[in-house]
């Protein structure tokens, strides 16, 4: 199952299984120093970042690869919601002539196949990016037990991509989300939108269920704030 389908399948109930995403989205907006008027958001989902924008804006372009998520995002005359995979040329062509006060992204860019390319393009349309990305240390214990590699970017790759075009401030935070039962924990993995493997082979899944003894899941995120262009 692709990441896009994983998000889309549970779109209507996603808000019940994205606790960490909500926490980091709120933190992302709370830390903004200016109330920007023209905003581009990458990986907008159903609007979990937008709902924390409590000031008047002139224009807001929201991008997400999931059509189901885009349908759920708030709409208005000054809000443009479009369905694009941000790794594609179609996305680059969509934004290349735009100008924004700031680009926001929460819990999305870690899926990029070429993050450095995206940051390069963004550097031509804005002077400021504020983003938060999950790192490959999310579900670290699960990957160790199943001997699998995280599908999302590691911390160093993320830092290198942003630092190639901007002077940045970085802050990495480990969240631990506790559960009352193993069943609840594994249900959350499946529906959270940051699943390490949507469908592990049966033996691996059985091994994981048996050997995962923690009562919490690990989520590592990195907050990125650009200071100036290089």
End-to-end CA distance of the chain: 38
162 is written with which tokens? 């942003």
Q: Over the stretch 16-54, which tens digit does the pLDDT of each residue have?
A: 678 888 999 999 999 998 999 999 999 999 999 999 999
Question: Average pLDDT of the chain?
Answer: 90
DSSP E strands: which ranges in the chain?
A: 38-42, 59-64, 79-83, 102-106, 129-134, 166-178, 216-229
Domains and CATH numbers, the chain: 3-140+150-177+220-229 (3.40.50.150)
Residue 188 banded pLDDT, cuts 50, 70, 90: confident
Helix (H) or strand (E) holding 22: helix 19-30
Residue 99 has pLDDT above 90, yes or no: yes
Please tell me which of 3-7, 15-19, 95-99 the model is most confident about, judged by mean pLDDT.
Answer: 95-99
The torsion region of residue 43 among left (phi > 0), alpha (psi -120 to 50) and beta comes to: left
Q: Distances from the Cα of 28 to the Cαs of 48, 88, 94, in angstroms? A: 11, 25, 25
């Amino acid at each position: 199952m692709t990441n896009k389908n994983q998000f889309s399948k549970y779109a209507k109930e996603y808000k019940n299984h994205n606790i960490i995403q909500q926490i980091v989205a709120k933190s992302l907006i709370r830390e903004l120093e200016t109330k920007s008027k023209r905003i581009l958001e990458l990986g907008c989902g159903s609007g979990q970042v937008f709902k924390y924008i409590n000031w008047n804006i002139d224009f807001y372009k929201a991008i997400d690869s999931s059509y189901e998520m885009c349908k759920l995002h708030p709409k208005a005359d000054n809000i443009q919601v479009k369905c694009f995979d941000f790794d594609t040329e179609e996305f680059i062509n969509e934004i290349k002539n735009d100008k924004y006060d700031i680009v926001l992204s929460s819990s999305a860019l870690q899926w990029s196949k070429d993050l450095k390319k995206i940051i390069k393009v963004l550097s031509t349309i804005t002077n400021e990016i504020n983003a938060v990305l999950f790192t490959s240390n999310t579900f670290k214990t699960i990957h160790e037990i199943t001997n699998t590699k995280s599908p999302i970017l590691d911390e160093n790759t993320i830092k290198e991509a942003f630092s190639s075009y901007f002077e940045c401030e970085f802050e990495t935070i480990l969240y631990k989300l506790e559960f009352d039962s193993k069943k609840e924990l594994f249900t959350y993995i499946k529906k959270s939108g940051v699943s390490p493997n949507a469908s592990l082979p049966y033996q691996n899944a059985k091994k994981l269920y048996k050997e995962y003894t923690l009562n919490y899941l690990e989520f590592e995120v990195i907050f990125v704030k650009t200071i100036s262009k290089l």
